[in-house]
Structure 1
């Protein structure tokens, strides 16, 4: 019986090659999208699940309330993790993961080979007791037994040592923290699993030397920069431990918190949830929102539904062609259940063929899809059992979803009537078919509207006046103390180039990941009410170079030690009008005092997702306080200009690699997630439209085939090609119009929710919906007209000769 079903199904597919091909292409395309998205989501949720006893590992996060501002920090003050290990028996071990402050790039050297490397972290000697990494060389047990130990990620070790065994080798690392010597004690890779703690270099914190301050730091209120983790004993309750933390904080840091006017609440966050839980400042790596992943899953499901709808529509539309077959089968003894099995078998066969076609195509398209999502997905059957489960699940779900309704519909035909040719008396499914077409185009129009609004917002972000010059600004960063000592001479030589308008020395740049921050207060006010602000150190050329406007007071000048410039947001928070702010003294923690020289007009130095934060530029007379040159240029011939800059660089720093960044690129990094979302929506919208068009194309072809004789008679009676095209198209175009009416409010709601993430955003306008409707209508017209024109141009004699 089963063999007979398979044989019959193959015969039907071969007999109806055109419609079978449409179904297979639609289902295969949907399967490629669906499988890739599922693999991507699985990859994002897999971060940090590989650690031994992962359910017992937690990150200590901090909620800080200070003068009305609330910050959720992914970090904690340095002594907190150590004290938790000492105070609570349920804490088995602790470790800290700390970025090398002030050093973004590290010149790592071995013998004659040296290069810059990023992502070096200081860690406690207990790090590999808490987290599981796969050691290619060395072992977790011995990695940090000795002082001045360093563990390298495999790509770094390969680049540095080649085929040499790295264990025991001495390397030198030169960065903003000075020159240090380490012994290589281990090499790890990511084969155990991906981690949010993405490091290329792990350096053990030493009691004398690298990171020594962290072992003696007793700051319980400030210095919230350490990513801190605890591993609980088996069976210990994180919720019960978290309830003890308020008293724990009062015991150790109560006085410090009280004097600073700060309130802190500590939380324990499961380590496997970190990668998909946004909302924390000072994260140690890139975060992906769960809402974003849910949106991708929804898109995958919708695309597969569109493909299934095509199958249902084409199957039920061609039901009349199979009515007599069903009637004959029933007469010779086939029951309703047998027919359901047969038609479902055809559906499963199509789904199976589609998956078989989709898998090799997915393998070929993986590099392109990875570029769209900025991911690193690989099809590895050995390392990912889901690659066996996903195709089987898709065949099962798609086969049932696409085939159930046609199977039950066609198996319900009454044998006597359909054999007599009275199929038209059967219950019509044209209404359901039209509803499914409407559903397809609702999805397509919502996605098209999303593309238009996301593009408009990203274009707005790109072109908005931020209050400073972000274009034609080039940043040179000095990563070591040796190179910083040459900064003044280099700046002086560069100033001779005619393309340069201005140069400024700064401690940080706009769009960078982190700024220094602390509270400032006015004389005679309570230090506990200090206003939190962020700042950077810069010379007297900063305002001019960045193109920032001054609304009161003056610019910084040489020898302005102790002088600062503040933005309007800080003046407002301090209760100062811009004019009266000039000359006002600002106090910090009792050890520093500044005088306001000028007030700057507001500028968005961070992402437009956020409101403008209080900000201060501090005059920097010392070379060790700055490590960037920001260059404002008046040329767009960057290739020629950068060649000149590199020549001046190597004149002053002959042994140091030339390194530069565009300010605009740094600012755009804040929108990486939005850009990825835009690319994904763009790509999968095109695919959704393509699949919808396949279905519409097939229905139009079937409609023209059904009305073949009618079209012939109309042409004989004088109907024009245009009139026949209108006749065949108007019903489909009416469905697109209905889809537009339904889709518009859905798209408005969804995109309005997305735009809420931006403080500065474009308004949603009527033209965005009108454009999406027009695009959908144009696509439908082109798709349907092809078949309509083909039918209208046929020789009417051929279509009516049997009459």
Structure 2
């Protein structure tokens, strides 16, 4: 029986090649896109789950709001880890981590820049699952200048994993003894360790101050202990250890802060939620966003539904062509169940053919998708054993669901009516089919609006006045390696043709700046008079080099000794301090008095997702980076000159890495995820449009077939090709109009929610909806006209022949 079903199914598919191609290709595209998005979502949801104790590990977040100053950071007090384990039974163990950032590592006669270096407690290997290939995890980080590396680093520098006892020269200062080699960490981790140093060598490792945050704390709860209980323990510890310091430094209590709507607290976030749910703006590695995951799931479902809708529409549209087949079968004794089985088998066969094509499409798109999403997703069936069973099951279900309505619809035809030619299933009378077309175009229009809004926001970001000029600015890294030669290097650079000005500072608007200090408006640091200000160290050339403007007062002056205790603040800091006339007023920190000599006009530091923060600028020589404003058409030549000067500044610099970037590129990098999101949206919109066009093409073909005689009569009576095309297009354009009415408010609500992530954002203009609607109309007319013109040009004699 089933063998016969399959035979008939393949014959029908082959007999109607054009129809079958449209159906199969549309469903294949939907399956391919859905597969890629599913892999992306699974990847996003799997972060940090490789840890054995993942469900019991929590990271502590410092969350402060004092007198309007907001501070949210992933670091916490140095003594917290030991205190929580010692005094609170709910905590089984804890570990501290401190980011060491980029380091210099010597290899033969070269010095290379490496990332992902951390200081850590010996407990790190108990808290996290970091299998050690060589060495003893119990003792690997016991001694200062001990070093644990991953297998990639071992192979890169020694070409072997047998490296225990060997040394690595780091930061041009000290040799570190390798005491362990760990396996490379999974990609799905919020942190990656390439180098791990013993935290015991840091001077601040034993700092007891609870109002100073200098390390990341990870707590492992005992089995059965909830996050709520851990947070309660942290509240108690905060009151016990941090509140006395608050009374001492800013003369306030936690209760006083709560009463004013402020707070001083430590809270936890589960390890497995850091990647998608963290509200910390300065995560060490690029984070995901749970909203993007939800959006991806919705888009995958919608695109797959569009493909299934096509299948249903085109199958029911073929009912006129297959009605006589159904009528003859019923007359010859076929019951309805056998007809339903036949149509369901055809549907499932179509789905499985589409699955094979979908796999090929997914493989073809995978590299492009990985680039956009910043992933390393694989379609390897051996690495992802679940893929094939999941795909086969999903395809079977899709085939049955998508084929169910056509099967029940066509099997219900009455043989007497069919054989008399009284089939009434016209295009205009099918409310379900029209509703499904509306659903398709609602999805298409929403995706088009989403793409336009994302690009509008990115264009707003690119063109917004930021308060500084990022164009024609080169940033050189690794300046601290120059040591005492940095000053002469700066003077040499200034003499180069094309260099207008140069400044030393690691605090740049396009970098992450995390150093926040508490300043008071009086020497006693009384309650209500203290605020947290982001503290930058700059030189006297910083303001003019970056094209910033003074709102009042003056810039730092060269060789003016009194400026060592002078500061500049931005307008936001002045507002937060409640100072209408801040010039020549004083701020206090750690027993030192600082005079405000200038106010810098507000500028956007970091991403436009965040509001402008209060900033205070101290005069200092921050040699983490050098920024220079240039004016030249021959940038490659200038870069070569800079490299020559850098290498020749000192005999020891010959093997040092010369790294640079353009500030404009650094700025664009801040919005890489939004740019990728825009491209992904555009790609999804394209595929949704393509699937919808395939369905439209099939439906207009059906409509033309249903109205063949009507078209012939109209042509005999004088109708032109334009009249015929307009007649066939009219029904579909009405459906597009209904789709737009539904889609516009839905798209506006969705994209308004997305824009809420940005402190500075564009408005959703009317032209976005106008363009989306116009594109939908153009797509419809283009698709419909292609088939309608062919029907309109048909010789009316042929269409009016008696069958």
TM exceeds 0.5?
yes
Structure 2 equivalent of residue 586 of structure 1: 587
Is the contact between residue 54 and residue 272 of structure 1 (CA under 8 Å) also seen in structure 2?
A: yes
Q: In 1, Cα distance between the equivalents of 2:795 and 2:159? A: 74
> Could you give the per-residue CA deviations for residues 188-241 of structure 1, whole angstroms, max 9, x where no partner exists?
2135x63112232222222xx3x2422x1112012x242211222333344333
- Counterpart-to-counterpart distance in 1, 2:569 and 2:19: 69
1:204 aligned to 2:198? yes
2:121 corresponds to: 124
| 1:195 counterpart residue number | 189
The range that moved more, 396-405 or 76-85, is: 396-405
Match in the other structure for 1:635: 632
Q: Deviations over 1:459-498 (max 9, x none)?
A: 1101111011111111112264x32432211111110112
Name which of 176, 182, 195 aligns with 2:177.
182
Instruction: Show the 5 A alignment for 1:35-434.
Output: 35-100=35-100, 104-138=101-135, 140-141=137-138, 143-144=140-141, 146-163=143-160, 165-174=162-171, 178-190=173-185, 194-206=188-200, 209=201, 211-214=202-205, 216-222=206-212, 224-261=213-250, 263-424=263-424, 430-434=430-434
Find the aligned partners of 2:339 and 2:484 in 1 and give their Cα distance.
Answer: 85
Give the 5 Å matches for 1:668-687.
Answer: 668-687=668-687
Task: For residue 53 of structure 1, report the CA deviation from its aligned partner.
Answer: 2.5
Q: Residues 647-658 of structure 1 correspond to what in structure 2 (within 5 A)? A: 647-652=644-649, 653-658=653-658
1:504 maps to 2:493? no
Closer, same or farther in 2 for the Cα pair 1:505/1:70, shift >3 Å?
A: closer
Deviation at 1:124?
0.8
Q: d(CA) in 2 for partners of 1:179 and 1:669?
A: 33
Q: Pairwise CA RMSD of aligned residues?
A: 2.2
Q: Go from structure 1 to structure 2 and tell me whether the alpha carbon gap of 1:149 and 1:748 turns closer, same or farther (over 3 Å shift).
A: same
| Runs of 5+ consecutive residues of structure 1 not aligned to the other structure | none
Q: How far did 1:69 drift?
A: 3.5
Aligned residue for 1:677, secondary structure, equals helix
Q: Distance in 1 between matches of 2:426 and 2:664?
A: 65
In structure 2, the partner of 1:483 is: 482
Q: How far 1:665 moved relative to its partner?
A: 2.2
The Cα of 1:164 is off from its aligned counterpart by 6.3
Write out aligned runs for 1:592-603 (5 A). Answer: 592-603=592-603
Aligned residue pairs total 785
420-429 or 773-782, larger mean C-alpha shift: 420-429
- Could you tell me which residue of structure 2 aligns to residue 566 of structure 1? 569
Q: Measured at CA, do residues 500 and 196 of structure 1 come closer, stay the same or move farther in structure 2, by a change above 3 Å?
A: same
Q: Are 1:225 and 1:282, in contact at CA under 8 Å, matched by a contact in 2?
A: no
Task: Describe the SS at the equivalent of 1:235.
Answer: coil
Deviations 1:426-479 (A, max 9, x none): 998622111111111111111111111110110110111101111111111226
Distance in 2 (alpha carbons) for counterparts of 1:145 and 1:340: 72
- Once the two structures are TM-superposed, the CA of residue 85 in structure 1 deviates from its matched residue by 0.9
| Partners of 1:114 and 1:160 within 8 A in 2 | no
Q: Deviations 1:339-395 (Å, cap 9, x if unpaired)?
A: 222222222111111111111331232111101111111123233233124312420
- How far residue 43 of structure 1 moved from its aligned partner, in angstroms, is 0.5
Shift of 1:281: 4.1
**Are positions 1:720 and 2:720 aligned together?**
yes
| Bigger mean CA offset, 225-234 vs 758-767 | 225-234
**Contact 2:62-2:72 at 8 Å conserved across structures:** yes
Determine the C-alpha separation between the residues in 2 that align with 1:134 and 1:716: 83
| Conservation of the 8 A alpha-carbon contact between 1:75 and 1:283 | no
SS of the aligned residue for 2:357 comes to helix
* Runs (5+) with no aligned partner, structure 2: 255-262
Q: How many angstroms apart in 2 are the aligned matches of 1:258 and 1:346? A: 77
Q: Distance in 2 between matches of 1:709 and 1:142?
A: 89
Do structure 1's residue 576 and structure 2's residue 575 form an aligned pair?
no
Q: CA deviation at 1:132?
A: 0.8
CA positional deviation for 1:556: 0.6
8 Å Cα contact 2:249/2:525 also seen in 1: no
Equivalent residue number for residue 799 of structure 1: 799
SS of the residue 1:119 aligns to:
strand
Partners in 2 of 1:303 and 1:510 — Cα distance?
Answer: 40
Q: What residue is the counterpart of 2:10 in the other structure?
A: 10
Give the TM-score normalised by the residue count of structure 2: 0.93
**1:627 Cα deviation after fit:** 2.2
The residue that corresponds to 2:34 in the other structure is 34
Are residues 393 and 525 of structure 1, via their aligned partners in 2, closer, same or farther at CA, if it must alter by over 3 Å? farther
The answer to whether the 8 A contact 1:227-1:284 is kept is no
Deviation at 1:415, TM superposition (A): 2.8
SS in 2 for 1:230: strand
Q: Any residues of structure 2 matched to 1:621-770 within 5 Å, and which?
A: 623=621, 625-652=622-649, 653-770=653-770
Per-residue CA distance 1:658-714 (angstroms, 9 max, x = gap)? 111211222233323322221211111111111111101111122223323333333
Query: 1: CA distance between counterparts of 2:288 and 2:49?
Result: 16
Q: Is the 8 A contact 1:475 1:628 kept in 2?
A: yes
Superposed displacement of residue 174, structure 1: 0.5
Contact 1:565 1:599 in 2 (8 A): yes
Q: Is the 8 A contact 2:479 2:626 kept in 1?
A: no
Tell me: CA distance 1:68–1:600, structure 2 relative to 1, closer, same or farther (3 Å).
closer
Where does residue 259 of structure 2 map in the other structure? none
Cα pair 2:572 2:602 within 8 Å, conserved: yes
Q: Equivalent residue for 2:462?
A: 462
Report the CA distance between 1:401 and its aligned residue: 3.1
The one-character-per-residue Cα deviations of 1:476-530 (angstroms, maximum 9, x if unpaired) are 12264x3243221111111011211111111321121223111222236744431
Structure 1's 353 and 81: CA in aligned 2 closer, same or farther, altered over 3 A?
A: same
- Equivalent residues of 2:19, 2:698 under 8 A apart: yes
Structure 1 residue 140: deviation in Å? 4.1
Which residue in 1 is equivalent to 2:258? Answer: none
Whole-angstrom distance in 2 between the partners of 1:475 and 1:122? 27
**Separation (CA, whole Å) in 2 of partners of 1:316 and 1:232:** 58
Deviation at 1:55, TM superposition (A): 1.8
Query: Distance between the aligned counterparts of 1:185 and 1:425, measured in 2?
Result: 75
CA deviations on 1:43-95 (whole Å, 9 max, x unpaired) are 11111111113222222223222113444433311111111111123322211
The TM-score with structure 1 as length reference comes to 0.93
Following superposition, the deviation at residue 555 of structure 1 comes to 1.1
